[in-house]
Amino acid sequence: MKITKIESFLCNAGLRNYLFLRLHTDTGLTGIGEASLEWQEDTVRTLVHEFLENRYVLGVHPFDIESLVDRMVRDQYQGGATVMTAISGIEIALWDIVGKACGQPVYKLLGGRCHERLPAYANGWYGGARSPEQYANAAIAAVARGYTGLKFDPFGVAWKEIPRRALRQVVDLVSKVRLAVGDDVDLMIEGHGRFGVETAIEIAHALEPFHPAWFEEPTTPDSIDLLAEVKSRISTRIAAGERLYTVPEFFQMISKRACSILQPDVAHCGGILTAKKIAGMAAAQEIVISPHCSIGPVALAAALHLDMCTPNFLIQECFSEFDVPWRNDLVHGWNPIKNGEFELPEIPGLGLELNEAAIAAHPYVRNSFPSLWDRGWYEQFTQNE
């Protein structure tokens, strides 16, 4: 068996575009992957076809995943999100082929079931909310769907510092959400790498009375040392890792114990097998994983297979019920979220296929993802429908 062709499919999903891949073999088996990357989907697509396709992927046996990924990572030389996302998308598609060829779900080939249930936390649930009262009402609605965890960024367009008045508004917002959902729902505070060390520490202390489950990316992901300093000076747990792209970067984060919850993104860090290795390193330092996944349904499927076969999995991010209405139409056989938990079907491979007609009905939109530090994104995300 060998790979004979790569197809790529770009489509729009509101604030994001999705890039799906499909690998063909000479036996007729196909495998799908996802290589979506905010702002850079078309560039990733170019890398797939101009750099990876002919030089590395065509002619390769789809079972030779370890060797192929190793060579692609080694030879791309510069590293970074764009090329690692291209490599990850191909790797995910290879595992889909392997699962289909073996007649098994991917997770059964990587250690088997470790969990009876896969809990989810909601993200994107606060779209359209501006005031603390609107956030509180949106939180109640999300919890009514079965979620026991809610993640949100209450910081507007803050960067490095936050004025006293703005911090009081953040405290008021978080307070009202906590009051609305009660003490048994986890609140994950998203920082998006916004703050300097001292500001991050001040914010963490101000939010301690509301018992956040974690403070995510309070400082820039470019400096693990800064993150470690924040962690050493606050009591709230730190979550980070979505913007790390190589095993050595994750090793540094883990060896310094700069976070308590590690968030590798299967679609960016090298794929499913690499993420499994990262989870193993984290387990050795008693760090749990909560994979990041803010993109499409194929990347989510890959994350769920990782979750199922990983002992130190904690909880999975979920945008599924807060994305565009056509999200699930983009694939066949996929609606995995039920009452705040994920279910994995006993289907060989990843368990889903692309719906080309739905993908074509929602064409790529250039620059669909605005900067998180401009008023434009905030106005767009918080506008009431």
Pairing, β 261-262 against β 288-289: parallel
Query: Active-site residue among 192, 268, 305, 362?
Result: 192
Alpha helix ranges (H) inside 145-296? 164-181, 197-207, 224-232, 247-255, 272-284
Question: What average pLDDT does range 181-208 have in this prediction?
Answer: 98
Identify the structural domains of the chain with CATH numbers, from first to last. 3-103 (3.30.390.10), 108-350+372-382 (3.20.20.120)
What distance in Å separates the CA atoms of residue 68 and residue 61, rounded to the nearest whole number? 9
| pLDDT exceeds cutoff 80 at 294 | yes
Q: What is the pLDDT of residue 56?
A: 97
Find the mean pLDDT for residues 308-314.
Answer: 98
Catalytic annotation on 49? no
pLDDT averaged over every residue in the chain: 95
Confidence of residue 78 (pLDDT cuts 50, 70, 90): confident
State yes or no: is 332 an active-site residue.
Answer: no
For the entire predicted model, the pTM comes to 0.96
Taking residues 105-123, what's their average pLDDT? 97
**Helix, coil or strand: residue 29:** coil
Does residue 385 register a pLDDT over 50? no
Name the burial class of residue 116, with classes exposed (0-12), middle (13-18) and buried (19+) by CB atoms within 10 angstroms of its CB. exposed
In the chain, count of helices (H) and strands (E)? Answer: 12, 15
Per annotation, catalytic residue among 49, 115, 268, 292? 292
Across the range 53-82, mean pLDDT stands at 94
Other CB atoms within 10 A of residue 111 CB: 12
Query: What was the pLDDT predicted at 377?
Result: 62
Contacts of 370 (CB under 8 A, 6+ apart): 15, 376, 377, 380
Tokens linked to 340: 């705040």
